Amino acid sequence: MSRTEQDKATIAEEDDGIRLDRWFKRHREGTPHALLARWARSGQLTLDGKRADVSDRIAAGQTLVMPTPPVETVARPARKGRPLTDADVELATGMMIHRDASAIVLNKLPGLATQGGTKTEQHVDGLLDALKFDGPVRPKLVHRLDKDTSGALLIARTPKAAAYFAKSFSNRSARKTYWALIVGVPDIQQGEIDLPLAKQPGSGGEKMHVHDDGLASKTRYRVIERAGNSAAWVELQPLTGRTHQLRVHMAAIGHPIVGDGKYGGKGAFLTGTISRKMHLHSRRLRIDHPDGGAIDISADVPEHFAASLDALGFDLLLGDVGVDDVAKGPPPKAAAKAAAKAHSKQIRKARRGERRGRTADSKPTDFVGKPKPKPKAKAGSGKAAPAKPAGRKPGAQKRSAPPPKAR
């Protein structure tokens, strides 16, 4: 059986780190995925001479060898989105709070969706062409925020950065800190909420609820300040990344986020001048950078959130006091064993020091740390018990000279 005519391509820098099937979507758009899979199974796709699979990550400079696509798979014209207006460009660039060669961080506005959907005309994903600047490709989303949640949103500027950041979010090495206003005040000032979450039946997957068969979900919280018993300003750190996790968890412990009618119902709204918008804000994002170092960026709260903090008498400067890193899961076994060994060694050293430092006037202790009682004088003798010779260990008996050896 004759083999198909071969074609070659060198992987460019802007394609570094993406999947092989993604490369075909970019550069051989008309090639069906089923055809790619058949080429991979038959060994007709190779990278630097080695057999490749459609799911393999490719690297800049690699040589890709593939069959020449048949005539019927010529590339179809790319689907074009809505042209950006000057207002769109101004909106996108106005949200930007950080930019480097690999990343952009936006302070997303509340009410702006991260991605498109039914009846959603304007969203961050649709504005990314305005943020290309001098980059090699169109920027890409690597995580998302709910439509009504504001704050720090990371955008990757290269495929390599997108793969790196996506891995950081999936293995939870990225650290996210949120601010929220909640109804009422938790009895415990800081703690961890550990409640499994699942999609709520009948909601079409649009709503979550606490369920024993759900996925493990953990949220750390800390009360920053309280307004009597009516409301509190809290710091939230998601230790897992479930849909609507922070909103469901706070509602589940009886303190819904202010403005979150979806999970808190009518009880999620405060009276007076407090806005009815949701008060959940992605305040800080800390994540390692693919080029070395790290991104550590804070996003200012939106106008309605700032106004509510002021109306409740909260001091904005208190928000960043006491922020610390969150330990991500249990330490490795090797580290735990080393720590236990070091601790035991320290205890042994301390005990050796105690034994060396004991004198005739010292108070020896037994294995549970209780001082041994002093010997009492015999009744009526009027004499105290004789002191033990200095330098002899407590309880040690005088040894007699060894018997002479037999000749």
Does residue 64 share a domain with residue 206?
Answer: no
* Nearest Cα to Cα of residue 130 among 165, 102, 160, 106: 106
Does residue 74 surpass a pLDDT of 70?
Answer: no
Q: What is the token pair recorded at 250?
A: 């706070």
Query: Are residue 196 and residue 61 in the same domain, yes or no?
Result: no
What CATH number corresponds to the domain at position 55?
A: 3.10.290.10
Residue 172 has pLDDT above 70, yes or no: yes
How confident is the model at residue 112, as a pLDDT? Answer: 96
pLDDT score for 104: 97
**Residue 193 class from Cβ within 10 Å (0-12 exposed, 13-18 middle, 19+ buried)?**
buried
Is residue 256 included in any domain, yes or no?
A: yes
Q: Which of 64, 155, 31, 176 is nearest to 102 (CA)?
A: 155
Say yes or no to pLDDT of 91 above 90: yes
Q: Is residue 347 assigned to a domain?
A: no
- Block residue for tokens 């391509």: 9
Task: Determine the pLDDT at residue 32.
Answer: 87
Residues 252 and 312 in one domain: yes
The answer to whether residue 287 scores a pLDDT higher than 90 is: yes
* CATH number, position 174: 3.30.2350.10
pTM: 0.66
Element (H, E) at 164: helix 159-170
Same domain for 56 and 143, yes or no, is no
Alpha carbons 38 and 367: distance in angstroms, whole number = 73
One domain for residues 103 and 36: no
- Check: CB of residue 229 under 8 Å from CB of residue 213: no
pLDDT at 185 exceeding the cut of 60: yes
Q: How many domains does the chain contain in total? A: 2
- Same domain for 258 and 177? yes
Looking at mean pLDDT, say which of 5-9, 159-163, 344-348 comes out highest: 159-163
pLDDT of 69: 64
pLDDT per residue as tens digits for the range 37-56: 899 999 999 999 999 998 89
Do the Cβ atoms of 319 and 224 come closer than 8 Å? Answer: yes
The reply to whether 300 and 176 lie within a common domain is: yes
- The residue with greater pLDDT, 301 or 338, is 301
In the predicted model, is pLDDT for residue 157 greater than 70? Answer: yes
Is 212 labeled as catalytic in the residue annotation? no
Question: In terms of residue numbers, what domain contains 164?
Answer: 89-320
Secondary structure letter of residue 303 according to DSSP: H
Q: Is residue 51 part of a domain?
A: yes
Domain boundary among 305, 320, 335: 320
Does residue 118 share a domain with residue 226?
A: yes
Catalytic residue selected from 7, 16, 48, 146: 146
What number is the average pLDDT over the span 233-243? 95
Mean pLDDT of 306-328: 78
Q: How confident is the model at residue 379 (pLDDT cuts 50, 70, 90)?
A: low
Kindly state whether residue 246 falls inside one of the protein's structural domains.
yes
Q: Is the dihedral of CA 145, 147, 149, 155 positive or negative?
A: positive
> Which of 114-123, 274-283, 397-406 is modeled with the greatest confidence?
274-283
Mean per-residue pLDDT of the chain = 81
